[in-house]
Amino acid sequence: MSLLIINAGSSSLRLSLFKQTSNGLVRLAKVRHDGINDHEVSLLGDFITLVGTTEITLIVHRVVHGGTRLTTPCLIDARVEAEIERLILLAPLHNPSALAWIRLARRLLGEQVPQVAVFDTAFYQSLPAVAATYALPQVLCQQYNIRRYGFHGIAHRAMLNRWQKISSKIKDGGQVISVQLGSGCSITAIDHGEPVDTSMGFSPLEGLVMATRPGDLDPTIITYLQQEAGLSAKEIERILNKQSGLLGLSGDSGDMRRLLDSDSSDAQLAVDLYCYRVRKYIGAYLAVLGGVDAILFGGGVGENSPQVRMKILQGMEWLGVELDLASNDNTTGKEGCISATAGRCEVWVIPVDEAQIMAQDALVITKNRGDSR
C-alpha cells in the first residue's frame, strides 16, 4: 500500500508519499510549498506525476477542525465531508482548504481511491473539564457545542512521540510542554502522554500571537468595533484571521525572519510580544503540571529561530530552565538538546513530522476495515 499525505496549513502545503513495507512505513518522496492560500491543481498534479498515479492507493488529509462528531481518524464519505464543511465557521483559514484538497484529489485520482481524514482537534477530546469549558451559560454551550477544542494536535503528538522515544526511562515521557511555532502557534501541557491544557480553544484564534492572528483577546473589543467602527462580523473575522498578529503589530509582515532583521520599533514590539506570550503560557503550564521534565520546540519558527527560543526562555533559570547558548545557536532545522546540563528541565528542538503520524493513523483505519491493497 502507498499513501499520499496532503497536509494543507494556513499558509503552506506539504505533500508526502509513503509505502508500507515489511519493515514499516518508508517515505518515498516529499515536497513543501510555502505561501499557499488556495488549492492549486498544478502542485498536486505535478507531485502525482512525479511519483506515478499507480503508486497511490490511499490518500490522507490533515483536517484542522473535527468538532464534537469527528473525534478519530476516519474514511471520508459524504457525511464526513458535510461535517467538515459545516465547521468552516470555526476554522475559516483551514477547513475550506481541506475540502478543496479532498475534492481535487478525488478529481485527479478517482472516486475509487479511498481518502482518510486525520483531525487536529482529536488529540484534545479528553481535555479535563476545567481546561475544556468556558464560563458561559452551559445551556448555550451544550446547544451550540461551545468548548475549547484545541488545535495542532497532530504536531503536538509528533513532538510527544519523539520525546517519549528519547526519554524512554521516563514513564510516558513524564510532564512536557510542547511549543508549536509557525504561521499558527500553540502550546500544550502534557502529563504522562495526556494533554491537560492547550492554548488554542473554540477556534484557532485563541492563545499565542501568530503570523496574522492575535491570540488572546478581550471579547469586548469585537462588540466595540461593531458599534464604534461600524464593522461587520465578516470584516472583523477578516481582521482577526488575516490582518492581526505579527502583521498587525508590525504593519509590515507576518514573517518572523523579516521582523528579526528589521530595525523598526514596531517590528521589535511584534517580536517581543510574540515571545512574551509564549513565555507567559510556559509559566502557566509549569503551574498546571507542577513542574516539567521537558520543553519541546517545533514548527517553522520553533525549529529554525535560536533567537526566538532564547528570548522566550531567558531568565527562567530559577525554574530549572536553562539554555546552552552554543547548542541553541547551532540547532537549526534539526533535532537537538539545547538545554544546559545544570538545568532540571531538558529543552529540545524536535522537527515536527505530521506526515508520519497521519500515515500511521491511516494504516490503522485501513487495517480495521480489512483493506490490504
Mean pLDDT of all residues in 13-29: 88
Query: What's the number of CA atoms in the CB half-sphere (13 Å) around residue 304?
Result: 12
176 and 93: one domain?
A: no
pLDDT of res. 54: 60
Encode pLDDT of 129-165 as tens digits: 999 999 999 999 999 999 999 999 999 999 999 999 9
Encode pLDDT of 158-189 as tens digits: 999 999 999 999 999 999 999 999 999 999 99
Parallel, antiparallel, or unpaired for β 294-298 and 175-181? Answer: parallel
Give a yes or no: residue 161 inside a domain: no
Domain containing residue 187? 168-349
95 and 111: one domain?
A: yes
Give a yes or no: residue 339 inside a domain: yes
Which band of pLDDT confidence, cut at 50, 70 and 90, is reported for residue 44? confident
Tell me which residue of 184, 182, 173 sits closest to 150, measured CA to CA: 184
Q: What is the CATH number for 201?
A: 3.30.420.40
315 and 360: one domain?
A: no
Mean pLDDT computed over every residue of the chain: 92
Cα–Cα distance measured from residue 23 to residue 131, given in angstroms and rounded to the nearest whole number: 40
* Least trusted range by pLDDT, from 13-22, 168-177, 194-203: 13-22
Give a yes or no: residue 149 inside a domain: no
Which residue among 34, 46, 77, 120 is the active-site one?
120
Phi-psi bin for 351: left (phi > 0), alpha (psi -120 to 50), beta?
A: beta
Residue 372 has pLDDT above 50, yes or no: no
323 and 208: one domain?
A: yes
120 carries an active-site annotation: yes
31 and 6: one domain?
A: yes
118 and 180: one domain?
A: no
Give a yes or no: residue 233 inside a domain: yes
96 and 205: one domain?
A: no
| Domains: count for the chain | 2
Place of cell 506570550: 277
For residue 297, which phi and psi values (nearest 5 degrees)?
Answer: -110, 130
Encode pLDDT of 251-298 as tens digits: 999 999 999 999 999 999 999 999 999 999 999 999 999 999 999 999
Residue 228 has pLDDT above 60, yes or no: yes
206 and 222: one domain?
A: yes
Q: What percent of the chain has pLDDT over 70?
A: 96
Encode pLDDT of 345-357 as tens digits: 999 999 999 999 9
326 and 249: one domain?
A: yes
Give a yes or no: residue 156 inside a domain: no
186 and 102: one domain?
A: no
Enter the pTM of the model: 0.92
Give a yes or no: residue 136 inside a domain: no
Q: Is the dihedral of CA 43, 46, 48, 51 positive or negative?
A: negative
13 and 54: one domain?
A: yes
278 and 230: one domain?
A: yes
Query: What's the number of CA atoms in the CB half-sphere (13 Å) around residue 342?
Result: 8
Give a yes or no: residue 74 inside a domain: yes
pLDDT of res. 373: 45
